[in-house]
């Protein structure tokens, strides 16, 4: 199935973003009700996600407040354009990408009340090639992230088409899921049972990130996966 990721934005200062009150689930379900999607997923920044606002990294005038993910067996370009038009009427900005999905780790089902999913839109720093970027991220960094964090789900989304054109040239989108307690506790986030292990894991992660990521353009934000029932 073809996977599309829609990042939803709101024009707001970070200090005015919470408590988050937009009914993202209801809005998105209404907008996709007539589409023939094989699967869909909706994440936003409601509930306990406010406690993880320090995880956000956003160099943009708008703040990401949700993600709509659709999987199509086949899709109609006209229907897709209509969806984008309707999303742009509701949200202040929408970035949307076709991606090639690879589920690297999936140890348990994601529970929106007891876990959170962190999205990272990433690009390469200027001193490396795209090939080097993907080799390091996919073959080296992902394993380091899994081994130094309490990650129980890790999904690599390589961007195959960027429909937005109003932002930095992102190459990929990472989806990582963690236990909800990792929102506030660095030791849980970095899967550390001592200060020594915490410092070691942070240093290992940062060393790897610096080898391939463009920190000036990166966008990172934690979300809650919403119950679709």
Enumerate domains of the chain plus CATH numbers: 2-225 (3.30.70.100)
Query: 180: how many CB neighbours lie within 10 A of its CB?
Result: 20
How many angstroms separate the CA atoms of 25 and 12, rounded?
20
Q: What is the mean pLDDT of residues 10-36?
A: 87
The pairing of beta strand 93-106 with beta strand 2-10: antiparallel
Q: Which pLDDT band, with edges at 50, 70 and 90, does 169 fall under? A: confident
CB 42 within 8 A of CB 67: yes
For the CA atoms of the chain, what is the radius of gyration? Answer: 17
The answer to whether residue 168 scores a pLDDT higher than 80 is: no
Q: What is the pLDDT of residue 190?
A: 98
- Give the closest residue to 146 by CA, choosing from 203, 120, 107, 172: 107
CB neighbour burial string for 48-80, b if at least 16 within 10 angstroms, e if fewer: bbeebeebbeeeeebbbbbbbbbebeebeeeeb
> How far apart, in Å, are the Cα atoms of 48 and each of 26, 44, 51, 181?
19, 11, 6, 10
| Helix or strand run (H / E) with residue 178 | strand 172-179
Lowest mean pLDDT among 58-62, 122-126, 150-154: 58-62
The whole-chain average pLDDT of the chain stands at 93
Q: Cis peptide leading into 170, omega within 30 of 0?
A: no
CB 1 within 8 A of CB 93: no
- Phi, psi of 113, deg, nearest 5: -85, -30
The answer to whether residue 75 scores a pLDDT higher than 80 is: no
Lowest mean pLDDT among 12-21, 67-76, 156-165, 201-210: 12-21
Query: How do residues 108-134 score in pLDDT, each as one tens digit?
Result: 889 888 999 999 999 999 999 999 999
The answer to whether residue 99 scores a pLDDT higher than 80 is: yes
Q: What is the pLDDT of residue 229?
A: 60
Q: Which pLDDT band, with edges at 50, 70 and 90, does 77 fall under? A: confident
Torsion of CA 139, 140, 144, 146, to 10 degrees: -10
The distance in angstroms from the start CA to the end CA of the chain is 22
The answer to whether residue 159 scores a pLDDT higher than 80 is: yes
The answer to whether residue 188 scores a pLDDT higher than 90 is: yes
């Amino acid at each position: 199935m073809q996977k599309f990721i829609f990042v939803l934005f709101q024009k707001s200062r970070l200090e005015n973003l919470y408590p988050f009150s937009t009914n993202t689930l209801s809005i998105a379900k209404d907008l996709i009700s007539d589409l023939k999607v094989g699967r869909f997923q909706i994440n936003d920044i409601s509930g306990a996600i406010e406690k993880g606002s320090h995880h956000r990294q956003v160099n943009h005038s708008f703040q990401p407040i949700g993600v709509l993910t659709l999987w199509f067996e086949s899709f109609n370009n006209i229907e897709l354009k209509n969806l984008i038009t309707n999303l742009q009427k509701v949200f202040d900005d929408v970035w949307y990408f076709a991606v090639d999905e690879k589920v690297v780790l999936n140890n348990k089902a994601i529970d929106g009340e007891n876990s959170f999913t962190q999205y990272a839109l990433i690009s390469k720093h200027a001193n490396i090639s795209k090939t080097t970027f993907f080799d390091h991220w996919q073959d080296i960094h992902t394993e380091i992230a899994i081994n130094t964090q309490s990650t129980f789900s890790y999904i690599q989304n390589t961007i195959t088409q960027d429909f937005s054109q109003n932002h930095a040239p992102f190459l990929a989108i990472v989806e990582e899921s963690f236990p909800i307690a990792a929102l506030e506790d660095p030791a849980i986030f970095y899967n550390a049972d001592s200060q020594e292990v915490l410092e070691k894991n942070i240093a290992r992660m940062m060393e790897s990130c610096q080898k391939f990521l463009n920190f000036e353009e990166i966008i990172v934000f934690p979300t809650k996966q919403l119950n679709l029932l």
